Structure 1
Amino acid sequence: MIKPINISIYYDQLLVAEGYKAVLSGHKQFHISNLIENDVDILKKIKYNETDLLIIEFSDITKENITYINHLHKSLPSQKLLIISGSITHKFINPLIKIIDGYLLRTCSSEKLILAIHEIFEGRKYLCSQLIPILLEDNHENGFKIDLTSREREVLSLLYTTKHNSDIAEKLNISQTTVRTHLKNIRQKCGNKNEVQLMRYACNKNLLKDNCIPLCPNCRFFLQKKWALI
């Protein structure tokens, strides 16, 4: 018998959390072990080996929420995290992408919640499609130009179509040390540009080719292979 996924829900609003619990409890592959109010220190309520997935529900994402999620990630770096919120802005989604395993807006359906959990436990990350416009916001910038060498362009292309630096090294027949050097140079040339803006640049310059997931059927923007957007 397959062991069910043990889930804890850290909530802002009890009624919403109970709704998630009702949805997930209808599936044998899930077990809800805790409903935890957000004014309780979650680290005192859950033990790492007892929670396979922590769902964090917020009405809105604030700087304080971001700080807390970062603290949680540092304390439990291997803990899988799925965030659900009522809304989020461009400046907050980027810092979260690196440390969470999935993100849903409250307007997503229960089917998307189930799908997100399955994607996470199949080793991928999940973003609901409603986040696409937020991800692609220019953030008051109209793009930027980067003077990359031909090799740096190749590395940048593979950065968004492979999972590890070792894959890039193998495809280009170079060492991982050389890959890291190229990535360091690329980031230095980009200044303080975030990874989403770097991805936009790669797309606009037609650097992404095979195995890319389109963000929408009417644009040329793509997201990393390891993320699912449905």
Structure 2
Amino acid sequence: MIRTLLVDDQHLVRAGLRMLCSAAPDIEVVGEAETGGQAVAVAGRLLPDVVLMDLHMPGVDGITATRRILAARPAVRVLVLTTFDDDEHLFPALEAGACGFLAKDTAPEKLLDGVRAAAGGESPFSPDVLRRVVRQAVTAHAPPRTAADPVPLTGREREVLTLVAAGRSNAEIAEELHIGITTVKTHVTNLMAKTASRNRVHLAVSYGRFGVPPAG
């Protein structure tokens, strides 16, 4: 059972998320919080596996709450729920340790799959949100890597990285490149090591920050 904490300052949003998650046989909603400060306290008391975190809240925001929760409980997985106009918070949330990003208008089943993926150590994200994270990383937070500091990638790794940055899943990458999904996972693991990325979202950001160097 995946123990889940819901964090949003809107009661109606929390109620909808509770109904959705509670209907899943493998997800248990163990608590709710309407502010970041409450989220930190409740997470410390209830020890959830996954926190569904809103970012824009009065007082302690979702970014600060994420950082504080993970400082105390690094094993907790914080999955951000974001709106279309919340770009300014996305990259800071990634830096704070969020494992993934889903749009609030994500289809219900995909949101549940996101919770499961987060609990399983993966980094779920909506492709459009990922593109916004990458764009913000490039324009506001991270200058491009210079030619004097290259990331040596094989031609296939360059292809896989491009597709990761486009929001493709491992299965979609395998189908598009006509290779096995195990091979894709191996490439992704190697890419994370080469780019010093902590998870798949960081890997996608590395594409936007550093670009894909020419094959050598």
Please, what TM-score do these two structures have when normalized by structure 1?
0.60
**Alpha-carbon offset, residue 46 of structure 1:** 3.4
**Alpha-carbon offset, residue 15 of structure 1:** 0.6
Matched with 2:129 is: 131
Of the candidates 60, 64, 80, which is equivalent to residue 83 of structure 1? 80
Matched with 1:205 is: 213
- The total of aligned residue pairs comes to 177
Please, what TM-score do these two structures have when normalized by structure 2?
0.64
Once the two structures are aligned, what percentage of the paired residues are identical? Answer: 11
Which structure 2 segments of 5+ residues have no match?
A: 162-186, 197-201
Matched with 1:22 is: 19
Matched with 2:71 is: 74
Deviations 1:198-226 (A, max 9, x none): 42365443459xxxxxxxxxxxxxxxxxx
Q: Distance in 2 between matches of 1:166 and 1:109?
A: 29
1:47 to 1:71, Cα distance in 2 relative to 1, 3 A: closer
Matched with 1:92 is: 89
Contact 1:83–1:100 (Cα < 8 Å) also in 2: yes
Residue identity opposite 2:76 in structure 1: Q
Which structure has the bigger radius of gyration?
Answer: 1
Matched with 2:111 is: 113
Deviations 1:90-116 (A, max 9, x none): x53223224112211212111221111
**Alpha-carbon offset, residue 5 of structure 1:** 1.0
Q: Distance in 1 between matches of 2:144 and 2:120?
A: 36
Matched with 1:147 is: 147
Deviations 1:142-166 (A, max 9, x none): x8561236xx4326969x6454799
Which structure 1 segments of 5+ residues have no match?
A: 169-182, 185-193, 209-230
Residue identity opposite 2:208 in structure 1: R
**Alpha-carbon offset, residue 41 of structure 1:** 2.8
Matched with 1:102 is: 100
Contact 1:48–1:79 (Cα < 8 Å) also in 2: no
Deviations 1:27-64 (A, max 9, x none): 11111111222165333323466411111134579994
The structure with the largest strand share of the pair is: 1
**Secondary structure of 2:28 counterpart:** strand
Residue identity opposite 1:124 in structure 2: E
The structure with the largest helix share of the pair is: 2
Matched with 2:52 is: 55
Contact 2:7–2:54 (Cα < 8 Å) also in 1: yes
Contact 1:5–1:29 (Cα < 8 Å) also in 2: yes
Contact 1:119–1:125 (Cα < 8 Å) also in 2: yes
**Secondary structure of 2:128 counterpart:** helix
